[in-house]
Chain A
Amino acid sequence: MGRLENLTKGIIKENPVLVLLLGTCPALAISTQASSAIGMGLAATAVLLCSNVAISALRKTIPDTVRIPAYIVLIAGFVTLVQMLIRAFSPALNEALGIYLPLIVVNCIILGRAEMFANKNTVVASALDAIGMGLGFTLALFVMASIREIFGNGTFFGMPIPLLDENNISILTLAPGGFFVFGCMIALVNKVSKGKAIQKKEFGCSACPSAAVCGKQRCENTEKGRGNA
């Protein structure tokens, strides 16, 4: 795989939110305003870049059996750093992201890229992958937030839009609107790619990148039903 492809695949072809269906919680929650969506996307990108580089550099040092706890500690450390920086330099963004800022730790995209990419590839490739995935995440969040802000609130980056300003569909900015817009966007991706893009047909355990944390075998058992645990 070429270097350029490592960078670009995350933006459209393997977009983490719309195609790989990772990180749905922040995507739904932080997409009410375009400005906070960009903030969230960039914060997650920063954490992803740091964690991918660190994990890739340490991939020969970290023993295989304890790799997941080690990754979680590394990621939590970087999240704490980003949290402190945002708190110090942009209190307004800190307010807008709220609980979802510390929750970047459990964002599946970050652990997923560590497990699926960074621990098998070089530092440069992992860094490019992180930037591409991070930008893809930011882009998806931005598009979703733009739709919800323009039609739900009648504003864009806080600037009122004539006509829509008075005729907004305020439910789009509330919780149901998040599910609705996200569902429609995935349907659009499905339509445009004729059903080929979405590799994961269901939200299931085996497709979850953190499956390694709990053991693939167990996940499969869960999917089959409770039985032979």
Chain B
Amino acid sequence: MKELIIILMSAVLVNNYVLQRFLGICPFLGVSKKLDQAVGMSIAVIFVMLIATAVTWPIQIYLLDNNGLGYLQTIVFILVIAALVQLLEIALKKFLPSLHKALGVYLPLITTNCAVLGVTILNIDAHYTFVQALVNALGSGLGFLLAMVLFSGVRSRLEASDNIPEAFKGIPITLIAAAITSVSFFGFVGVVENMFA
């Protein structure tokens, strides 16, 4: 249990996917303008990360590794994730229309998101057990949500300010703001290691 909490907290705070590992930068900069969109996108990411991990982990361990096909990891994972997202969307539309309405727009955007492929591959590289892999996926997704929510607040202040130098308007100032948000996560260094000390 202690181990699972450490994995969860370090995925959320210390190894934050967006701000420390640079995975999923496109949605982070693209969909973080409004808070409700940022939350919708992040919940879709959490959802897909969990399901993708639940599917790819058994495939890697029982199917690929047992048959000496480990080198097919990249190609199998990207196809499984792409197919999964499509199936998920169809299933949600049919069985949970209200959830589809909330998350539907964001689901297809996640297919080529490197954070989802990244979390599935990192779970295998770290030799996690199935439960640890799921916890890590949940933590990574929550970390994405945290970064998105924080940053959408910063973005709304940026939109309102009008004394930004001409050359920095738009994307450059957004990136500088992301740098400062990223610095704030350094405050968590050492928190997880010492949590149970």
Interface residues of A, Cβ cutoff 8 Å to B: 21, 24-26, 28-29, 69, 72-73, 76-77, 79-80, 83-84, 99, 102-103, 105-108, 111, 171, 174-180, 182-184, 186-188, 190-191, 195, 198, 200-205, 208, 210, 213-215, 218-219, 221-222, 225-226, 229
- Complexed CA–CA distance, A198 and B75 (Å): 33
Q: How many A-B residue pairs have CB under 8 A?
A: 166
A108 close to B26 (CB less than 8 A): yes
B30 close to A191 (CB less than 8 A): no
Given A21-B171, A201-B170; 4 other pairs, CB 8 A cutoff: A106-B112, A171-B183, A180-B175, A229-B101
A111 close to B36 (CB less than 8 A): no
A102 close to B179 (CB less than 8 A): no
- Complexed CA–CA distance, A83 and B174 (Å): 33
Interface of B is mostly: helix
A219 close to B179 (CB less than 8 A): no
B108 close to A218 (CB less than 8 A): yes
Find chain B residues with CB under 8 A from A108 CB: 26, 112
Picked from A21, A179, A215, A221, the residue with its CB within 8 Å of the CB of B176 is: A179
- Complexed CA–CA distance, A188 and B31 (Å): 25
Known contacts being A105-B117, A229-B104, is A213 close to B111, with CB within 8 Å?
Answer: yes
B171 close to A202 (CB less than 8 A): yes
Known contacts being A21-B171, A183-B172, A203-B30, is A102 close to B117, with CB within 8 Å?
Answer: yes
Interface membership of B125, Cβ < 8 A: yes
- Complexed CA–CA distance, A77 and B40 (Å): 33
- Complexed CA–CA distance, A21 and B169 (Å): 15
- Complexed CA–CA distance, A200 and B104 (Å): 26
A222 close to B22 (CB less than 8 A): no
Find chain A residues with CB under 8 A from B24 CB: 25
A203 close to B182 (CB less than 8 A): no
Picked from A72, A79, A84, A222, the residue with its CB within 8 Å of the CB of B106 is: A222
Find chain B residues with CB under 8 A from A24 CB: 22, 25-26, 29
- Complexed CA–CA distance, A107 and B122 (Å): 17
Interface membership of B90, Cβ < 8 A: no
Find chain A residues with CB under 8 A from B25 CB: 24-25, 28
Interface membership of B37, Cβ < 8 A: yes
Q: How distant is B26 from chain A, measured CB to nearest CB, in Å?
A: 7
B170 close to A202 (CB less than 8 A): yes
Find chain B residues with CB under 8 A from A198 CB: 170-171
The residue on A at minimum CB distance from B178 is: A179
A205 close to B75 (CB less than 8 A): no
